Amino acid sequence: MRPPSRIDVSERRFFGLTFRQLAILASAAVLALACLVGLKTWPFWLRIVLVLAWAAVGLIWAFWQSQGQTLEQRLLDVLVFHRRTRYLLHRAVRDQGQARAAWPTAEAKPATQPRKVPQTAVVGWSPALLWITANAIGISLLFGLTFWLSQGGAHQLRLIWHGL
């Protein structure tokens, strides 16, 4: 007996949620908790607003679908659409004289022009999953470093520097 060949691994469930939804909700929860606990110098009402904003972003990102596509798929479709170099137009505007046929007379024969060799299209570079992941990790590290510096890390670095 062979296993079924049409299994979609992305539809596996854990407590009724896909692993994608769990990862998004866990990330949003960690960011909301970091805003609530890490920003103690900010007013409490502002921290609650940030927590609610992160919760809303996490819920929308995890559960929103339009025409059967998740938010990432829709954004990728928009980026691919705007990145393409050729736009096909239905009933494109023509020049006025383009539709007329001009028959050459027997007296004037046009000189044969050398035929142009079609050039192959050069495909531009497209980001791979590893590149996108590395950029996401780098941006996260920069955000974390900026957050740490703004919460007193700059003072700690200054004390360490003067101690040398």
User: What pLDDT is recorded for position 161?
Assistant: 85
Which stretches within the chain are classed as H helix?
19-38, 44-63, 71-83, 129-148, 154-163
pLDDT of residue 120: 73
- What kind and span of H or E run contains 4? none
Residue 109 phi/psi, 5° resolution?
Answer: -105, 130
Tens digit of each residue's pLDDT, the chain (164 residues): 666 666 665 566 666 777 788 888 888 888 888 888 888 888 888 888 888 998 998 888 888 887 888 888 888 888 888 777 766 666 555 555 566 666 666 666 666 777 777 777 666 667 777 888 888 898 999 988 888 888 888 888 888 888 77
Q: Is 109 helix (H, G, I), strand (E, B) or coil?
A: coil
The pLDDT value recorded for residue 81 is 82
Q: Domain ranges in the chain? A: 11-84
Question: pTM score > 0.85 for this model?
Answer: no
* pLDDT at site 13: 67
CB 86 within 8 Å of CB 76 = no
